Amino acid sequence: MKIFVSYSFRPENSWVEEYVIPLIRCFGHDVLTGQILGGGPLPDEVQKRIKASRAMFCFVTRGEPRNVQDGKTLSWHPPDWVRDELIIGRARGTETIEFREDGVDYGGAAPFAAWHGFSRDALPHLLLRLAELLKDWPVLPLQLHLAIPPDLQPAIATAIKNDTLLVKCETLDSFEVDTSVENLKVRAVEGKFIIPFWVKPRPSLAVTVEIKSGPHRLVSEGVSPAVCTIPLSPVN
């Protein structure tokens, strides 16, 4: 999985390069940043990198002092660059996780989005939290093969070609709690129908797939993603 890591490149944040990025790579993921692109307005290349990423980690560290009383800083602005990348990721619908350093405060939509607080004096706790997230993220998507009834395969192939096929994948854990719902695209490869589904298989997980194309509706319920072949049946 490609993960965009957003952070300020100031020297005091070198721990991101020393610890965070190597940790992400240890879990098998690719890391993208905007580091080599210099400063100034957010360039198109950064937005392309965010678009190419399936997830984002934004480390909102202390920027310029915000409130100073009696020579003591009470709060800090976030780095403008990181704040802008955070906004872009959320606007795109990318899975964006914010880690906000203690003392950082900013307005806008920030109070309405979830975030994780951290202190640079307790970086091991931050790294453990990252590891907890990363262990459940798939490195690559599962290639789910759809077993479609032969008489419906021509109609499904036409819908794929015309980009009119609607596919919804839903995962449930053993307690029937939704863990993921995605609208996906089907690829026709050498007569096979395949959907790339970003999920990490585990024994408690089951997948439900629903396909709609014109008057046709096909469903498969409660299949383990480890099977990789999803048998679909017509539903009236």
CATH code at position 99: 3.40.50.10140
Range of 67's domain?
A: 2-134
Q: Could you tell me if 104 and 190 lie in one domain? A: no
Q: Could you tell me if 31 and 84 lie in one domain? A: yes
Q: Could you tell me if 27 and 113 lie in one domain? A: yes
pTM of the shown model: 0.80
Q: Could you tell me if 193 and 229 lie in one domain? A: yes
If you ran DSSP here, which 8-state letter would residue 19 be given? I
Q: Could you tell me if 44 and 70 lie in one domain? A: yes
If you ran DSSP here, which 8-state letter would residue 104 be given? B
Provide CB contacts within 8 A for 99, sequence distance 6+: 57, 58, 59, 60, 115, 116, 117, 118, 126, 129
Q: Could you tell me if 63 and 165 lie in one domain? A: no
Q: Could you tell me if 110 and 158 lie in one domain? A: no
Dump pLDDT digits (tens) for 91-118: 988 999 999 999 998 876 555 578 999 9
Q: Could you tell me if 191 and 222 lie in one domain? A: yes
The tally of domains found in the chain comes to 2
Dump pLDDT digits (tens) for 37-57: 655 556 788 888 999 999 999
Predicted confidence band of residue 212 (pLDDT cuts 50, 70, 90): confident
Q: Which of 23-37, 53-67, 136-150, 182-196 has the lowest mean pLDDT?
A: 182-196
Q: Is the pLDDT of residue 206 over 60?
A: yes
Mean pLDDT of the chain: 86
Dump pLDDT digits (tens) for 47-92: 889 999 999 999 999 998 887 777 788 888 999 889 999 999 999 8
- Per-residue pLDDT averaged across 161-170, rounded? 86
Q: Is the pLDDT of residue 179 over 80?
A: no
Q: Could you tell me if 15 and 128 lie in one domain? A: yes
CA geometry: angle 114, 120, 121, nearest 5 deg: 125
CA distance 192 to 57: 36
The three-class DSSP label of residue 58 is strand
Q: Could you tell me if 121 and 10 lie in one domain? A: yes
Q: Could you tell me if 67 and 92 lie in one domain? A: yes
Q: Could you tell me if 129 and 147 lie in one domain? A: no
